[in-house]
């Protein structure tokens, strides 16, 4: 019983830890006269992905590759179908041209590249499939290119400046305490979540993949849900969709890349259905931009996306 309590508390520690780490780091960066744009694209962007990152690092170190891969695939699916779906129901989401023509296709490319890398048995006829260290370095290389692209577009994007100027500034001592507490929360919470996920899978005799794809994935996506839902409520569409698409690219290129470098991740062919669902979700996001009002995810489309996600989870529970 205590393991399950730690599992639930772990999500609170993980998310609160990420908040404290971002607040403390951003405050110090601001006091050091680092620009708001750079803070937003580095500290804040990395900070919202730390829950997935920490969980994956622990899962990789402990050899729980199903949780590591399931967490990322599940998070990406939930980000698009569940989080963007809910956000669109709150208020229709309008996307920028750059987001539709460059960033959404890049998130789709990330999913396709991952699918190719993970299927050594199908593509190369190898004895087993895994995301190797070499694959990890390639994913990180893609991530560096993405960062380069992101910094490039900010030169002509005034909206980012407006959003990131809301950084709170604390004293150095308070900021450092925030960072220390944040790191502690992330480490302890991440460990408890992975340990709890393994125990739950064993107790109920279900796959670690199912736990990773559902409970862990949704739990680590809560920061994205909060950010996008609030942005939609405030009618800040660019933030709502940019947050999700950027997170999906981060998840595959940065988090899975780093996880594979730490320890190669064996890939079970049964996860190809979830890989296909990740690709499908990205395609759905791209297609809905051209159905009905162009560049807008309307409320009825949001309802469709949430319904598709619920259907997917039911399918997982019945088949995994």
pLDDT of residue 162: 46
Question: pLDDT, tens digit, for every residue of 22-52?
Answer: 889 889 988 888 776 567 656 766 777 889 9
- Three-state secondary structure call for residue 239: helix
Contact 49, 235 (CB under 8 A): no
pLDDT of residue 40: 61
DSSP character for 247? H
C-alpha to C-alpha distance for 13 and 9, rounded to whole angstroms: 6
pLDDT of residue 177: 95
Instruction: Please name the fold of domain 2-319.
Output: A middle domain of Talin 1 (1.20.1420)
Statement: residue 163 has pLDDT above 60: no
Contact 44, 77 (CB under 8 A): no
Contact 65, 265 (CB under 8 A): yes
Q: Where are the domains of the chain?
A: 2-319
C-alpha to C-alpha distance for 173 and 250, rounded to whole angstroms: 30
C-alpha to C-alpha distance for 105 and 51, rounded to whole angstroms: 25
Q: How many helices (H) and strands (E) does the chain have?
A: 18, 4
Residues in the chain: 320
Nearest to 229 by CA among 246, 214, 241, 216: 241
Question: pLDDT, tens digit, for every residue of 84-119?
Answer: 999 999 999 998 888 888 999 999 999 999 999 999
Contact 251, 260 (CB under 8 A): no
pLDDT of residue 161: 44
- Three-state secondary structure call for residue 171: coil
């Amino acid at each position: 019983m205590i393991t399950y309590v730690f599992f639930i508390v772990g999500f609170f520690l993980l998310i609160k830890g990420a908040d404290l780490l971002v607040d403390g780091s951003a405050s110090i960066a601001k006091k050091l006269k680092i620009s708001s744009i750079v803070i937003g694209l580095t500290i804040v962007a990395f900070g919202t992905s730390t829950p997935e990152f920490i969980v994956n690092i622990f899962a990789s170190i402990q050899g729980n590759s199903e949780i590591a891969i399931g967490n990322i695939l599940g998070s990406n699916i939930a980000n698009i179908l569940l989080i963007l779906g809910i956000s669109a129901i709150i208020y229709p989401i309008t996307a920028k041209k750059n987001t539709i023509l460059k960033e959404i296709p890049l998130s789709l490319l990330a999913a396709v590249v991952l699918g190719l890398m993970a299927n050594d048995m199908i593509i190369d006829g190898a004895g087993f499939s895994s995301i190797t260290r070499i694959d990890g370095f390639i994913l990180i290389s893609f991530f560096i290119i993405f960062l380069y692209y992101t910094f490039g577009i900010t030169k002509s994007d005034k909206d980012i400046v407006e959003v990131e100027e809301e950084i709170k500034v604390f004293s150095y001592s308070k900021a450092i305490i925030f960072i220390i507490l944040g790191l502690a929360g992330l480490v302890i919470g991440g460990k408890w979540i992975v340990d709890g996920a393994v125990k739950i899978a064993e107790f109920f005799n279900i796959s670690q993949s199912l736990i990773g794809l559902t409970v862990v994935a949704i739990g680590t996506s809560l920061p994205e849900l909060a950010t996008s839902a609030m942005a939609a409520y405030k009618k800040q569409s660019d933030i709502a969709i940019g947050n999700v698409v950027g997170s999906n690219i981060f998840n595959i290129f940065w988090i899975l890349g780093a996880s594979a470098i730490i320890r190669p991740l064996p890939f079970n062919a049964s996860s190809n259905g979830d890989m296909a669902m990740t690709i499908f979700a990205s395609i759905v996001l791209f297609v809905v931009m051209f159905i009905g009002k162009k560049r807008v995810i309307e409320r009825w489309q949001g309802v469709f996306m949430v319904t598709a996600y619920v259907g997917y989870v039911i399918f997982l529970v019945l088949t995994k």
